[in-house]
Amino acid sequence: MHIYVVQKDDTLEYIAARFRLDPDAIAKKNELTNKDQLVVGQTIMIPMAGFYHFIEEGESLYKLSNVYNIPLFELFSLNELSSKDSLPLGYLVYIPRRGKNIIETSAYNDISIDKKDSAEIIQNIGDNLTNVPIFSYQVKRDGSLSELNDNPSIISALSMEVAPLLVLTNIEDNQFSQELATTILNDEALQDKLLDEALRIMKEKGYFGLDIDFEYLGAINKESYVTFLEKAKRKLKESNPNYSLSVALPPKTSKNQKGVLYEGHDYEAIGEVVDKVLLMTYEWGWSGGPPMAVSPLNKVKEVMEYALETIPKEKILMGVPLYGYDWTLPYEKGGKWAKAIDQTKAYELAYEYGANIEYDEVAQSPHFMYVDEEKNEHEVWFEDARSYQAKFEYINQIDIAGMYNWVLGFKSPQNWLVLQEYFIPIKLF
Give me the helices (H) in 297-373, please.
297-310, 343-352
Hey, what's the torsion of the CAs at 29, 33, 35, 36, to 10 degrees? -170
Q: Cα angle vertex 428, ends 427, 429, to 5°?
A: 95
104 CB-near residues (< 8 Å, 6+ apart): 130, 131, 276, 317, 401, 402, 403, 425, 426
Query: How close are the terminal C-alpha atoms of the chain, in Å?
Result: 28
Residues linked to residue 405 through DSSP beta bridges, in sequence order:
107, 320
- 161 catalytically annotated: no
How many helices (H) does the chain have, and how many strands (E)?
14, 21
Rounded-to-integer distance, Cα 172 and Cα 180, Å: 8
Rounded-to-integer distance, Cα 131 and Cα 158, Å: 9
Rounded-to-integer distance, Cα 164 and Cα 132, Å: 5
Specify burial of residue 369 (Cβ count, 10 A radius: 0-12, 13-18, 19+). Answer: middle
Q: Out of 215, 263, 383, 421, pick the active-site residue.
A: 215
Q: Tell me if 123 sits within 8 A of 160, measured CB to CB.
A: yes
Catalytic residues: 215
